[in-house]
Structures are given as structure tokens and as C-alpha cells.
Amino acid sequence: MLGWVASPFFLFFAYYYLGGELSNLGAGMRSRQTFRRMLDASTLNPHDADAQYQLGLIYQQRRAYSEAIQRFQNAVAIDPRETDAHFQLGRLAREQGRLKDALEHFQTVLDQDERHSSNEILREIGEVYSAAGQHADARRELAEYIERRPYDAEGLYYYGLALERTGDPAGAREMYARAIEAANTAPHFRRHATARWGRLASKQARRLPR
């Protein structure tokens, strides 16, 4: 029995079938350790903006959004130039439909670093304008974003929407096609995140008049 358990075939199949579970278990343990470390840091030093921000990210990942918002707010109260915390507050506000709050946080980010998060701040602002029905403003912000990030599927999809809603169906069709291509050609580790935008772009393109 010991010889069989120690055989290369058994070890291969054990790794093949259990490797993912063990990896997830290890990641979960590391996440809990990081959470505990950040919690301790914020308790020992309540004026540590970075510890508050890191805790906010953990709560956000766990979908504990109220606690995440509180931690991000703590971070910017301690240090108003905690740009990353403003960015996350803006994203959460946009997702919750609090568009005015989202735009205020994103404007703060833009004032502090116009290229924040690889220029994604421009995409986020464009999406806020799109949700608010300010399609000309969305088009302006997203055009600049796509000029800087021409292969971002999400940005291409929203730029297509902005073009469609400002009376440019031909331009919209081109952006949807580019969004589909960007989603399909993304690196494998990014495919899960980009697939959604490819599907939405494909659906929206089919609705355009021929």
C-alpha cells in the first residue's frame, strides 16, 4: 500500500485532482492572515491610512460593501491624498447608483493623478456619464481613454454605447467589433474577466440597423 501511495502515478493524479483545492485552501489561509494583519495594524495605529485601505479591499472582495466603504472613507479622512481609496469609493458609488458621489470621488482622483490605474479613471468617469444619460460627456471621456488603452474590451464596449447614443451607428459597430476581438484575444488569465464585454458588445451590435 505504501509503495502504491508513493508511486509517481498516484502522486500525479493526487496533484491533478486535488492541486486546485489545496491551492484554494492556501489562498484562503493567506487571505485570512492578511486580514488579521491589517486589522491588527489599524487597531494599533488608527491613523494608518494604508491599513484602512487594505482592509477596505478585503471587505470589498468579500462583498461586505458597507464595511468596505467605511474603511475607504476612514482612509481618505486620515489622508485626503489616498487616491486609491477615492477610486474605490467612486467605483462602489457608481455600482450602487450614487452617480453624484461617484463623480466627486473620480474628479478627486483625476485631480491627483489623471493616469491613475493605467488610465482607467477616464473609463470610470465615462461610465458614470453613460449611466447618467450624459452621452456626449461619456463619448468625450471614453474617446480619450480608448486612445490611451485601445485594447480594453470594457472601454471599447462603453465607447460603442456612447457613439450609438450620440448618433454614430457606424462608429458604434466598429467599437463593438473591436470589443469582441479584444475579449477573444485577451490572455487566458484575463478571459473570464473580458468575456462579459465581448458578449454584451455582440448583443448590442446585433441591435444596430443594417
Q: Are 121 and 87 in contact (CB under 8 A)?
A: yes
Q: Which residue has the higher pLDDT, 11 or 205?
A: 205
Nearest alpha-carbon partner for 184 in 173, 194, 175: 194
pLDDT at 47: 87
Superfamily of domain 21-89: Tetratricopeptide repeat domain (1.25.40.10)
Fill in the amino acid letter for 46: P
End-to-end Cα separation, the chain, in angstroms = 69
Question: What is the mean pLDDT of the segment spanning 89-101?
Answer: 97
What pLDDT, in 10s, does the model give residues 129-172?
999 999 999 999 999 999 999 999 999 999 999 999 999 999 99
Q: Is 37 strand, coil or helix?
A: helix
Within this chain, domains 21-89 and 118-210 share the same CATH topology: yes
Query: What CA–CA distance (Å, rounded) separates 61 from 24?
Result: 15
- pTM of the predicted model as reported, rounded to 2 decimal places: 0.78
Q: How many CB atoms lie within 10 A of CB 56?
A: 28
CATH 1.25.40.10 fits 118-210, yes or no: yes
Q: Mean pLDDT of all residues in the chain?
A: 87
Which residue ranges make up each domain of the chain?
Answer: 21-89, 118-210
Burial of 172 (0-12, 13-18, 19+ CB in 10 A): buried
